[in-house]
Amino acid sequence: MKSNLNWHLLPPKQSLVILAPILAVIAVLGIQLIPGLTASENTLNTLTTLSIDPTQTKVMLIKSITYFMFAWLIFSYVNHVDALKKVCYSIIAAGLFQALYATYLNLNSDITSPLFGYQHHDRATGSFTYWNFLANYLALCLSIGIGLLISQLALSSSGSQLRAKLRGVITILLSSKMLLRLSLIAMIIALILTRSRMGNSAFFISLAAISLFAFFFYNRRPRYLRTLIVSFFILDLIIVGAMFGLEKVKERLVETSLSSETRDEVVSDSLPLILDNPILGSGGGSFYTAFPAYQPGPYSGFYDNAHNDYIQFAVELGLPITLLLGAMMLFALYQAIHTMVKRKTPLYQGIAFGCAVAILHMLLHSTVDYSLQAGANALTFIVILCLVIITAHLPHPKRRHSQDS
């Protein structure tokens, strides 16, 4: 009984590559809240903290502890194939709900949001307050869905006879694969309806890059992998996208220019803020408090976030933590690619494919937005990072069954 309890409570040692960086973030946030570590300029002679906004730093600390505990639970309990599938299908189901909800609101301009009473906007937001958050979230869910679909593809042909091929098509139409494929189409429709430039671009660039790699290096590549990937660009992006406003996304991309955008100015104006606090930062969640003092002039709007996760983490947490988190993401991307190339279990390879697309998407999207500041996006992305490690080390299902027996 005791050993079984320890098995469920303690995560495997390979989980440290994800848990340790999150724990480091928690440690830095704790240090930022210790009073008396900086010279006080308070006339009341009270001790001040390293964080210039302790309230927001406490909020970020609580969120980080929550992320750490959730990742701990994922590693502790997702230790067999059934649990792995349930996590993936849960992510897909959540993405499908957001897609249907966002599409319904977007296509009915005369109603307000039934949950929060938001007024209609020509860009889909779902239950999020910002369309780019929804675009990023849908891209993460889409990536896992595509990976799961790839894991279900046959490794060899069912035969060259017409009857065999027809039977195979009917089987697919009546199986869960078709429901999964339709769910992915619904999510792509909602992604396009967000009109997010980088949300759409980063997703399809990431899918194309990882797919191109898989065409050449995927171990025991499924026979119809190339056909499936091509269908996403021809059927979903071009045909379905044309029906739901892909042209508007293209127009926004064409109209984008450095002269009309101020995000690049925010990045450059944030560099002195980083240099003034390079080790421990100005405090978790303090960007909107710290940045106005370094802003040389008014922009087109108020920036409460840096619209660049790399810059925002560096400002708030310092360069060492930012580099550590970046290294964690790059290692996870390498581990996912390694699983695709070296492992022979289709489920693990397919999920690793989806995780690689999701990580590359986040790396690209974070250059122009702050999706990791949204709780749902950050939590989902942490789950994806955990899935990378799990699929890399989980035993083959048959081998695990023999060990348990």
Over residues 241-288, the pLDDT tens digits come to 665 555 665 555 555 544 555 567 788 888 999 999 999 999 999 998
What per-residue confidence (pLDDT) applies to 6?
45
Counting as low any pLDDT under 50, the low residues of the chain are 1-6, 43-44, 257-258, 401-405
Could you read off the pLDDT of 303-357 as tens digits, one per residue? 778 889 999 999 999 999 999 999 999 999 999 999 999 999 999 999 999 999 9
Question: What six digits make up the tokens of 326?
Answer: 């970046």
What per-residue confidence (pLDDT) applies to 349?
97
What per-residue confidence (pLDDT) applies to 25?
98
What per-residue confidence (pLDDT) applies to 401?
47
What per-residue confidence (pLDDT) applies to 405?
37
The dihedral over CA atoms of 176, 178, 184, 185, expressed in degrees to the nearest 10, equals: -160
CB-facing half-sphere around the CA of 384: CA atoms within 13 A: 35
* Residues 356 and 146 sit within 8 Å (Cβ to Cβ): no
SS3 403: helix
What per-residue confidence (pLDDT) applies to 36?
76
What per-residue confidence (pLDDT) applies to 77?
92
What per-residue confidence (pLDDT) applies to 3?
46
What per-residue confidence (pLDDT) applies to 7?
52
Q: Which residue has the tokens 């499924």?
A: 222
Report the candidate in 276, 282, 268 with the shortest Cα–Cα distance to residue 313.
282
Report the candidate in 140, 141, 60 with the shortest Cα–Cα distance to residue 365.
140
pTM of structure: 0.89
